Structure 1
Amino acid sequence: MEGRNDSCRMVPRNGRRVILFPLPFQGHINPMLHLASILYSKGFSVTIIHTDFNFSSTNYFSCNYPHFDFHSFPDGFSETEASVEDVAVFFTAINGKCIMPFRDCLAEILMKSKADQNKDSSPCCLITDAFWFFTHTVAADFKLPTIVLQTCGVSGFLAFTAYPILRERAYLPVQDHQSLETPVTEFPPLRVKDIQVLETMDQENVYRFVSAIDTQIMASSGVIWNSYRDLEQAGLGLAHQKYLSIPIFPIGPLHKCSPASSGSLSSQDYQRSISWLDKQTPKSVVYISFGSVIAINKDGFLEIAWGVANSRMPFLWVVRPGLVSGAEWVEPLPKGFLEMLDGRGCIVKWAPQQEVLAHPAVGGFWTHSGWNSTLESMCEGVPMICQPYLPDQMVNARYVSHFWRVGLHSEWKLERMEIERAIRRVMVEAEGQEMRARIMHLKEKVDFCLRKGGSSHQSLERLIDHILSF
């Protein structure tokens, strides 16, 4: 794949094993699997520990990654408990439920490796998702060093962990509607509305959650960022100041330097997506995908449908089952809607996003502004329309629109006239051409940072040496 370099080529096993523990959500699983594949290509043996939550089956991952060793444990969540509507409560609960089963799983792996005379079975460190905030304490009991993987952007994460400081400086809680527009001078170009605290029944729980994540990072042996220096230089500078004694490794974009198979939890409609795109003219298609978690109501869904149709631009739209509240799939669409478009629209349940964004027919991306999607769009030079829902997505959207200036931040309600206008601004007007020129410049920087001597290449070499030093 374009942008991958010699550092991604396979080398002989180096006799060391790494254990990785991803958070069980698509946006966290993908970068962890990419990282695992990169480390495997560098000679490490790989063990993946995962919970039963949101993983379709261990067999699926074993088939796609036969060279990894997978271990799973039950997380104790019932279907009724497994709701992420109150994010702080959910993550606090799942961390609590997983402590003992994770300890038992890790103990079993380490015991087996101790009995095994093969050096490849000796783990040298645990690489854990940042949102697993209990793992360092457990690993420390086994004298196993911990490295944290940050799957969100540097700026988004710093804004998230700054909640206590922002409350201390009276930005939070929000006093009135007008204060939402107040600039946060500590994090330009953000406003208060871009860093609103997670909605929760217990606001203090958010601060405890943030503090627990930060405490683990402070105690870890390093932090890996799925970002690169040219993109987030200021944020990385702040991260170095905050985590002064902790080694930081910005080695992203991970997906550009990974020979990984698909880590999708959903079945991808590859053939239909790509064959439809093959029939479209260059830079003409709007790709629409709002990720794997968020849900929208039926009224909003219909406004999107009519707004996109009225734009007169071809579109590939991912409508995953569960996207529309109260609907199985696309039932709320008016009868004959797709037929009316005469082939100008294609709706799929899931798409191979990296391949779609790399396709020459795609000229714009309407996205929820998750960090993976943001990076993937930048890597392929595709300007964005940002429709964020969660706090880190709000930060990403603001940076896309007002710092990197490679997209629009849709701060309007889902209304068809606004949607039509936004699509045409990005796809056919001069403003969109300027965005495309700027994002192509960022794409060139991505390609450079991954080459030998580039910033991400150098950070990866430092990471490898760091892990081998344990």
Structure 2
Amino acid sequence: MGNPRILVIPYPAQGHVTPLMELSHRLVDHGFSITFVNTDFNHRRVRDAFGNEVEGEGSIHLVSIPDGMEPGEDRNHLGKLTDGISKVMSSEFRKLLKKINGFEDDKISYVIADVNMGWALDIAAEFQIPGAAFWPASAFLLAFLFSTNKLVDDQVTDEYGTPINGEKMIELCPNTPAMHPKNFLWISLGDFTTQKIVFEYAKRNIKAIENMEWLICNTSFDLEPGALNFFPQILPIGPLSATNQLEPLTGSFWPEDETCLKWLDQQQQGSVIYVAFGSFTVFDPVQFQELALGLELSNRPFLWVVRPDITQGTECEQLYPKGFKERVGSRGKMVGWAPQRAVLAHPSIACFISHCGWNSTVEGLSNGVPFLCWPYFADQFVDESYICEIWKIGLSFQRDERKIINREEIKSKVEQLLNNKSFKERALKLKGLVTNSVKENGTSNRIFNNFIEWMKC
């Protein structure tokens, strides 16, 4: 009998794979072996991005199952992806568990499932395998999802999640972000069909996890006391990024361009604007060009992550403003994907222009980096509220009459943020709090150790 084997299954999106891979590394440190389940599509992407390093991770075994979509279909269409997951992945997951626990000596002892894959815990229970649910975003957002039935009962939304009073801000509890109905998770993801699919899917998953003994979350008491006091079933074990352990296998879907770290070594301390928008954000050509010109106008060095698919329809190489690359020269560094944890930990970083996904948010604050917030969809508006209104470690951008964040606004907000030392001071204070939470005897560390003991019993 070897180390206990844990099966880990994330929702098939980068912002979910990354923190569950981080958690898997922490579990390996405590003697567990991991079977990590990606979709076939994402499994190929991780293998392509990491090559031999994937094979070298002895205690993390990568496996995959189909996601129910055709090879050429758009996985960024969350309605179709969620529909495929609902119809195909559960039966494929059942087959996988049956295969592993029926034919292999090294059986699965526990299943840790993303809350967004809560159905996997119901299937694990069929095999009498104990499970735990992991939430990769803010505790506030999970508490909000637990309130979906109440939203319907109180006539805040109809049965499909559509707000009945579309302009009234919703406040769940004190010291948490107020939400505009247009930013409800399921509303911001696309059309009405997508909204209905995601709303129903979220309700089913919440039902699957509502009685779990372990509902762990990548947050800390210092970050979200309001939400965690309001919903004490949510157990903070993070931020996982605050441990500052950099692993070779991050689960990234794109190859990480490490040349940017050498470039950062050549920049002055606290001088570089880091610009990255996660795995989903898409820009139209006008907005892409205004961002480029805003970075040029800032007259500061910048590192800009330009994903190959970040612009609609046209390759971004053709969209850079005429003469932009020549004018910025070595002051600007553009990469397709960056080793973000290492970048944010680099002393030359001054601030982070971010889409405000939860992983980027906690990675930035774990390194004491102030933010300029550019949310795109989903939970990113909530995270923007935390950053600007509650923690006060960043500023929001304002859009002009075209709904564009223009170059002058970018230049202005960079100057406001970097000329006011209080943003950096508050960011460093928050870094100290979250770093302490994951250290020995910190609040998150104690909960994590109790979780480990539960699985070793």
Give, in whole Å, the separation in 2 of the partners of 1:284 and 1:51: 40
Do the aligned partners of residues 201 and 41 (structure 1) sit closer, same or farther apart at CA in structure 2, a change above 3 Å counting?
same
Q: Which residue of 2 aligns with 1:157?
A: 142
Give SS of 1:266's match.
coil
Q: Which residue of 1 aligns with 2:67?
A: 75
Do the aligned partners of residues 420 and 366 (structure 1) sit closer, same or farther apart at CA in structure 2, a change above 3 Å counting?
same
Query: How far did residue 170 of structure 1 move?
Result: 4.5
Q: Which residue of 2 aligns with 1:256?
A: 242
Q: Does 1:381 align with 2:399?
A: no
Query: How far did residue 249 of structure 1 move?
Result: 3.2
Give, in whole Å, the separation in 1 of the partners of 2:46 and 2:336: 22
Give SS of 2:275's match.
strand
Q: Which residue of 1 aligns with 2:112?
A: 127
Q: Which residue of 2 aligns with 1:65?
A: 57
Q: Does 1:393 align with 2:389?
A: no
Do the aligned partners of residues 158 and 39 (structure 1) sit closer, same or farther apart at CA in structure 2, a change above 3 Å counting?
same
Query: TM-score, length-normalised on structure 1?
Result: 0.87
**Is the contact between residue 387 and residue 410 of structure 1 (CA under 8 Å) also seen in structure 2?**
yes
Do the aligned partners of residues 233 and 194 (structure 1) sit closer, same or farther apart at CA in structure 2, a change above 3 Å counting?
farther
Q: Which residue of 1 aligns with 2:76?
A: 84
Give, in whole Å, the separation in 2 of the partners of 1:125 and 1:83: 29
**Is the contact between residue 100 and residue 107 of structure 2 (CA under 8 Å) also seen in structure 1?**
no
> Which of 140, 147, 151 does residue 132 from structure 2 map onto?
147
**Is the contact between residue 4 and residue 109 of structure 2 (CA under 8 Å) also seen in structure 1?**
yes
Q: Which residue of 2 aligns with 1:191?
A: 179
CA RMSD, 1 decimal:
2.2
Do the aligned partners of residues 408 and 163 (structure 1) sit closer, same or farther apart at CA in structure 2, a change above 3 Å counting?
farther
Give, in whole Å, the separation in 2 of the partners of 1:53 and 1:217: 26
Give, in whole Å, the separation in 2 of the partners of 1:311 and 1:131: 40
What aligned pairs does 1:19-34 form with structure 2 within 5 A after superposition? 19-34=7-22
Q: Read off the aligned partner of 2:108 and give its amino acid letter.
A: P
> Which of 265, 274, 280 does residue 267 from structure 2 map onto?
280
Do the aligned partners of residues 151 and 189 (structure 1) sit closer, same or farther apart at CA in structure 2, a change above 3 Å counting?
closer
Give, in whole Å, the separation in 2 of the partners of 1:160 and 1:417: 38
> Which of 26, 37, 62 does residue 38 from structure 1 map onto?
26
What aligned pairs does 1:397-408 form with structure 2 within 5 A after superposition? 397-408=384-395
Give, in whole Å, the separation in 1 of the partners of 2:364 and 2:338: 14
Q: Which residue of 2 aligns with 1:104?
A: 95
Query: How far did residue 311 of structure 1 move?
Result: 1.6
**Is the contact between residue 251 and residue 460 of structure 1 (CA under 8 Å) also seen in structure 2?**
yes
Give, in whole Å, the separation in 1 of the partners of 2:365 and 2:217: 16
Query: How far did residue 57 of structure 1 move?
Result: 5.4
Q: Which residue of 2 aligns with 1:4?
A: none
Query: How far did residue 194 of structure 1 move?
Result: 6.9
Unaligned regions of 5+ residues in structure 2, if any? none
Unaligned regions of 5+ residues in structure 1, if any? 1-12
Do the aligned partners of residues 318 and 411 (structure 1) sit closer, same or farther apart at CA in structure 2, a change above 3 Å counting?
same
Query: How far did residue 298 of structure 1 move?
Result: 0.6
Query: TM-score, length-normalised on structure 2?
Result: 0.90
Give SS of 2:42's match.
coil
Q: Which residue of 2 aligns with 1:415?
A: 406
Query: How far did residue 189 of structure 1 move?
Result: 3.2
**Is the contact between residue 183 and residue 377 of structure 2 (CA under 8 Å) also seen in structure 1?**
no
Q: Read off the aligned partner of 1:102 and give its amino acid letter.
A: F
Q: Which residue of 2 aligns with 1:201?
A: 192
Query: How far did residue 167 of structure 1 move?
Result: 4.4
> Which of 257, 262, 269 does residue 269 from structure 1 map onto?
257
Do the aligned partners of residues 454 and 407 (structure 1) sit closer, same or farther apart at CA in structure 2, a change above 3 Å counting?
same
Q: Which residue of 2 aligns with 1:234?
A: 226
Give SS of 1:124's match.
strand
Q: Does 1:52 align with 2:43?
A: no
Q: Which residue of 1 aligns with 2:348?
A: 361
Q: Read off the aligned partner of 1:425 and give its amino acid letter.
A: Q
Please give the per-residue CA displacement for 1:252-295, whole angstroms capped at 9, x wherever unaligned.
12133355323221111112x11221221111111000001121
Report the count of equivalent residues: 438
**Is the contact between residue 66 and residue 88 of structure 2 (CA under 8 Å) also seen in structure 1?**
no
Do the aligned partners of residues 47 and 342 (structure 1) sit closer, same or farther apart at CA in structure 2, a change above 3 Å counting?
closer
